[in-house]
């Protein structure tokens, strides 16, 4: 009998929690349809040549990715123009790229998001000759080096010159490789030249070393930053390049462009988050040179910039900038944290069903057990009601038979031990009705 009671108890629990359990399974399956796949184990970033600031930054990212178990592949390119083309090409395998500011004007940027601006690149304008130059408009009629054909430097120089009224119709714009700048200016083959290079670059040092060549102080630098928000105006203080030689010899106003870190929109959010975290860690402190000195343009906590005037800012990057690394990544390894993030999406609807079930299932179970007992009270009341209506000998005999049937059925009701007192109460009440019927039967003539 105890085995039977045990099986019945199990059946009651199954009937009680079975439907909610099916609902939980259905909710779990539906939620699973909205959970993205696990992040891939590698990411490819387009940098530039191996001696460039882009490559150096990517190499530092690479170490941070390795600590999280992700491989960051660094692709060597010719620079920003190549990088922009690669990240926009659906057929390329590039996931992220460094792109110099000012290259996306008027172009479609669909499918690409920015993680912010990660560092600035000075726009150097050197010139030779006795005439002091302070405005780009003064380059009308002159021979101007604008960088290699198809380069980011050429694109930016052309854009600034065009805005200043300097065009191929009123000036000679010369595409030239960077190493040729010094010779071209020194040998009077050019009057001025644009470069976008780090201040530590060898070409910049050679230009400063040549007494015939001077750095332009751009009088309208502030106006250019208003027209072109990706530009910034900085002041290069006297002597900051070389104190011993007093270079530059006077305070010099310059323009700098900011470099965007771009990702494809389809890159896994966990990797976008990790790349943003790497950018924050790498660029919040200026990189020091071999002498332990920072760049003349470096500022602590100046980068990354949580803004971008050319590309939409990634929502995942915004989340990292606002709240820091995701909650689970603060306490768990990267792979486990991303798993927890995915499971959390599935658990939310699950908890929404489990909590009510946990609250109401015991009450429902109790009601189902009590219902077996309470239903026999209805039978007892019916027997008494029939006798009260027709208390004849035949009716009393029939009622006693019915009481015996009820008692036999009640004796076989399987109930848990916790409800045994209610069962015994029912048996006592059955005896009460039987005694009453027996009394009535003896009183019959």
pLDDT in tens, 14-25: 555 666 666 666
Say which residues have a Cβ less than 8 Å from residue 206's Cβ, sequence separation at least 6. 182
pLDDT the model gives residue 1:
43
Same domain? 398 vs 294: no
Please indicate, yes or no, whether residues 65 and 130 belong to a single structural domain of this protein.
Answer: yes
Residue 190 belongs to what H/E stretch? none
Residue 370 and residue 387 in contact, taking contact as beta carbons nearer than 8 Å: no
Tens of pLDDT, residue by residue over 126-152, are: 999 989 999 999 999 999 999 998 889
Burial 104-118 (b: 16+ CB within 10 A, else e): beeeeeeebbbbbbb
Environment class of residue 226 by beta-carbon count within 10 Å: exposed (0-12), middle (13-18) or buried (19+)?
Answer: exposed
Report yes or no on 34 lying in a domain: no
In-domain check, residue 375: yes
- Please say if the pLDDT value at position 124 is more than 50: yes
Q: Same domain, yes or no, for 306 and 383?
A: no
159 vs 106, higher pLDDT: 159
| pLDDT at residue number 424 | 84
19/27 Cα distance (integer angstroms): 12
Kindly indicate the confidence band of residue 2, based on its pLDDT and cuts at 50, 70 and 90: very low
- 189: which residues sit within 8 A by CB, 6+ positions away? 143, 183
pLDDT band for position 432 (cuts 50, 70, 90):
confident
Residue 426 located in a structural domain = yes
Domain end call among 263, 293, 325: 325
Q: Is residue 336 part of a domain?
A: no
Q: Are strands 143-145 and 172-174 parallel, antiparallel or unpaired?
A: parallel
- Can you give the residue range of the structural domain that contains 371? 2-25+349-442
Instruction: For residues 399 and 434, state if they share a domain.
Output: yes
Is position 31 within any domain?
A: no
330 is a domain residue: no
Same domain (yes/no): 213, 289 = yes
Q: Tell me: do 19 and 113 sit in the same domain.
A: no
Q: Indicate whether 429 and 302 sit together in one domain.
A: no
CA atoms within 13 A on the CB side of 172: 8
pTM here is 0.70
Q: Tell me if 335 is assigned to some domain.
A: no
Judgement on whether residues 118 and 194 belong to the same structural domain of the protein = yes
Q: Is 124 in the same domain as 260?
A: yes
Does residue 168 sit in the same domain as residue 257?
Answer: yes
Tally of structural domains, the chain: 2
Statement: residue 87 has pLDDT above 60: yes
At 16, phi and psi to the nearest 5?
-75, -45
Evaluate if residue 5 carries a pLDDT over 50: no
Whether residue 89 is predicted with pLDDT greater than 60 in this model: the reply is yes
Within a domain: 71:
yes
- If asked whether residues 279 and 359 sit together in one domain, one would say no
CATH of the domain at 101: 3.40.190.10
Pair (304, 416) in one structural domain: no
Tens of pLDDT, residues 383-426? 888 787 777 788 888 888 888 888 888 887 777 777 778 878 88
């Amino acid at each position: 009998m105890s085995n039977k009671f045990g099986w019945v108890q199990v059946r009651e629990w199954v009937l009680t929690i079975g439907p909610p359990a099916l609902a939980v399974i259905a909710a779990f399956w539906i939620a699973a349809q909205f959970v993205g796949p696990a992040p891939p184990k590698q990411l490819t970033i387009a940098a530039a040549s191996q001696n460039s600031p882009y490559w150096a930054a990517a190499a530092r990212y690479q170490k941070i990715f390795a600590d999280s178990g992700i491989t960051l592949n660094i692709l060597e390119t010719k620079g920003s123009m190549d990088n922009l083309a690669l990240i926009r090409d659906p057929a390329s395998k590039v996931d992220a790229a460094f792109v110099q500011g000012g290259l996306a004007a008027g172009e479609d940027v669909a499918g690409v998001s920015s993680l912010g601006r990660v560092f600035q690149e000075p726009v150097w304008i050197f010139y030779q000759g006795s005439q002091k130059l302070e405005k780009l408009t003064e380059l009308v009629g002159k021979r101007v080096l604008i960088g290699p054909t198809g380069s980011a430097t050429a694109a930016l120089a052309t854009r600034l010159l065009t805005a200043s009224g300097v065009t191929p119709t009123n000036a000679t714009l010369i595409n030239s490789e960077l190493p040729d700048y010094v010779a071209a200016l020194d040998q009077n083959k050019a009057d001025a030249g644009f470069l976008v290079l780090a201040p530590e670059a060898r070409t910049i040092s050679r230009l400063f070393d040549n007494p015939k060549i001077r750095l332009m102080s751009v009088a309208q630098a502030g106006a250019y930053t208003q027209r072109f928000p990706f530009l910034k105006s900085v002041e290069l203080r006297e002597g900051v390049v070389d104190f011993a030689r007093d270079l530059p010899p006077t305070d010099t106003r310059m323009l700098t462009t900011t470099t965007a870190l771009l990702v494809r929109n389809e890159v896994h959010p966990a990797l976008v988050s990790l790349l943003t975290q790497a950018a924050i860690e790498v660029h919040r402190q200026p990189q020091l040179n071999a002498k332990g000195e920072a760049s003349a343009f470096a500022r602590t906590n100046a980068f990354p910039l949580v803004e971008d005037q050319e590309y939409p800012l990634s929502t995942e990057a915004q989340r990292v900038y606002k709240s820091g690394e995701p909650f689970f990544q603060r306490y768990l390894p990267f792979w486990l944290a991303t798993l927890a993030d995915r499971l959390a999406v599935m658990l939310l609807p699950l908890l929404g069903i489990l909590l009510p079930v946990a609250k109401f299932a015991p009450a429902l179970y109790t009601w189902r057990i009590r219902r077996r007992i309470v239903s026999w009270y209805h039978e007892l009341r019916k027997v008494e009601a029939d006798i009260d209506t027709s208390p004849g000998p035949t009716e009393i005999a029939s009622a006693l038979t019915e009481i015996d049937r009820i008692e036999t059925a009640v004796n076989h009701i399987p109930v848990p031990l916790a409800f045994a007192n209610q069962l015994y109460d029912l048996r006592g009440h059955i005896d009460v009705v039987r005694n009453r019927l027996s009394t009535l039967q003896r009183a019959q003539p």
